[in-house]
Amino acid sequence: MSSVLSSWQPSSSSKIALDQVALSDILSTTTPRQPLHVIRRTSDGARGLATDGQIGATPSGEYQMLGHLSAMYPEWLGDRSFCETHGTRFAYVTGAMANGIATPRLVIAMARAKMLGFFGSAGLSFDRVEQGLQVIQSELKGSDTAWGVNLIHSPNEPKLEQRVADLYIRHSVPRVSAAAYMKLSPSIVRYAYSGLTTTPQGEIVRPHNVFAKISRTETALHFMQPAPEAMLRSLVQANLLTEQEARLGSMLPVAEDITAESDSGGHTDNRPLTALLPEIMAARDQVMSTHKFTRQIRVGAAGGMGTPAAVAASYAMGAAYVLTGSVNQGAVESGLSEAGRKMLAQASMTDVIMAPAADMFELGVEVQVLKRGTMFGTRAKKLHDIYTTYNSIEEIPAKDREALEKRVLGAKIDDIWQETYAFWSRRDQEEAERALEDPRHKMALIFRWYLGKASKWAIDGTPERAFDYQIWCGPAMGAFNTWVKDSFLEPVEARSAVQIALNLLEGATYITRAQQLRALGVPVPSAAFNFKPRKLSL
């Protein structure tokens, strides 16, 4: 090695840079796919870069080689076992935005780009969920592409959750994104362990993979460990698992992919990722040590993924994969209306607000939504204030009720109730009958009508209800808009989910390379951390 170093001569194509201007030139004309050599000038110790394929010092000893950075690719970000397990090229996931906002079209586009997308089936009718599955399976038939579907915890409708889980098993859905779980349910455990077999070598094969989206350590622990023995026994007795499936399941965690969701759109605990991710990873390490699992439990990062810097930071903290949400809601493949996507494209980082959630209204659970251009957040909060103040619709003073109909609901309460009762009579007769007997529950269902409709109006682009649009949105959307300003991704019609993903990954690679250089003592220009979007191909 020493003889090679001493014989190095800069070629005509090589570049040596020690000052900020020259460093900027090298970094702007090279990509992370080109090796770089860190050098030091012997006369004053100044550090810089050389792009020549040879490394060493000039015969006069003017330069010394300090380090070498080999080529780097977006495919190398994250945990390689993620890509190997799920058959992807990139450790990148698009989240299951509910009510079909994460459309089959979006899932198919990601799969064909060798990434993983989840169909946002939560909130859709059973028939629409099945239709979405059929579209995805028809388009991706015969290919080794990765895809998945949402399975949301429905504590108020356990029969529906069970029915959906059964649908996924029958249709051989390979992955589900488990959302809104505080603890395990029989349905998610049944899905996770159905079809478990072993190879001749004794390795357990699981056809169903669970991605558990969590924001609390206690919830993550439920999924990182085998399901409770009592639940497994109960499923066997109900003929929902075989003895072998239960036995093999007792040796596996319910989920081998845990998505640590920080501050995000929709349901969120507003956790900062820098606090949440290390804690979940530490809990993972403890669980693996306790249970002696031989297969890695991967922890991914979600929430705030709107810029290359955020993606690079997540991988640097040890995230096995990243999951994006809000930015895909503004993509052309999204199920959100064009009007809604245009509203998202105008959002800044602070244009968000917490508002009552439709599915957990009575519990006071909130979701993060877009504030700019819509009154939904303040109107929804008004509904919850009324719900906590009165025990029934009839208790609301006539004057306040009239204002409620005119300024918030935009419809007569009696008309809303007729529509609501008809809906629940079709969906769950017990829920409808309960509302007849419990005035407070009736009031909750009437208010939930507005919360549910607000999402539909945003999806359909109902013009007369623009100020009532409920658009789930986190701060990442505003950060994304700032990043893409004056680039080809600024126009709404140019925002494809694949181009968004490729630019986030490519940018994260550039930023990771810049940080590596800085760690080696190179005075990297600040511009090296500012990757601008560009049209990329696979």
Pairwise CA distance, residues 96 & 149, whole Å: 7
DSSP 8-state secondary structure symbol assigned to residue 406: I
SS (H, E, C) 4-48: HHHCCCCCCCCCEECCHHHHHHHHHHCCCCCCEEEEEECCCCCEE
List the structure tokens of 168: 């996924």
Per-position b or e across 264-300, b if 16+ CB within 10 A of its CB: bbbbbeebebeebbeebbebbeebbeeeebeeebbbb
Torsion of CA 444, 448, 451, 457, to 10 degrees: -150
Backbone angles phi, psi at 116, to 5 degrees: -120, 125
Q: Looking at residue 67, what is its pLDDT?
A: 82
Q: Looking at residue 60, what is its pLDDT?
A: 54
The fold for domain 75-336 equals TIM Barrel (3.20.20)
Q: Looking at residue 171, what is its pLDDT?
A: 94
**pLDDT of the chain along its 538 residues, tens only?**
333 333 334 444 567 788 888 888 888 888 999 888 888 888 888 888 888 654 444 445 678 888 888 899 999 999 999 999 999 999 999 999 999 999 999 999 999 999 999 999 998 989 999 999 999 999 998 777 899 999 998 877 788 899 999 999 999 999 999 998 999 999 999 999 999 999 999 999 999 999 999 999 999 999 999 999 999 999 999 999 999 999 999 999 999 999 999 999 988 999 999 999 999 999 999 999 999 999 999 999 999 999 999 999 999 999 999 999 999 999 999 999 999 999 999 999 999 999 999 988 998 889 999 999 999 999 999 999 999 999 999 999 999 999 999 999 999 999 999 999 999 999 888 889 999 999 999 999 999 999 999 999 999 999 999 999 999 999 999 999 999 999 999 999 999 999 999 999 999 999 999 999 999 989 999 999 999 999 999 8
Q: How far is CA 116 from the centre of its chain?
A: 10
Q: Is 197 helix (H, G, I), strand (E, B) or coil?
A: strand
Pairwise CA distance, residues 244 & 453, whole Å: 45
DSSP per residue over 226-257, as a string?
A: PPPHHHHHHHHHTTSS-HHHHHHHTTS-S-SE
pLDDT tens digits, one per residue of 499-524? 999 999 999 999 999 999 999 989 99
Q: How far is CA 341 from the centre of its chain?
A: 18
DSSP per residue over 55-69, as a string?
A: -S--TT--EEEEEEE
Pairwise CA distance, residues 311 & 413, whole Å: 46
Under a CB-based contact definition with an 8 Å cutoff, are residues 361 and 444 in contact?
A: yes
pLDDT tens digits, one per residue of 202-252? 999 999 999 999 999 999 999 999 999 999 999 999 999 999 999 999 999
Give start-end residues of each CATH 3.20.20.70 domain in the chain. Answer: 75-336
Among 233, 232, 223, which residue's Cα sits nearest to residue 261? 223
Q: Looking at residue 42, what is its pLDDT?
A: 84
Among 413, 376, 377, 379, which residue's Cα sits nearest to residue 394? 413
DSSP 8-state secondary structure symbol assigned to residue 356: E
Under a CB-based contact definition with an 8 Å cutoff, are residues 460 and 314 in contact?
A: no
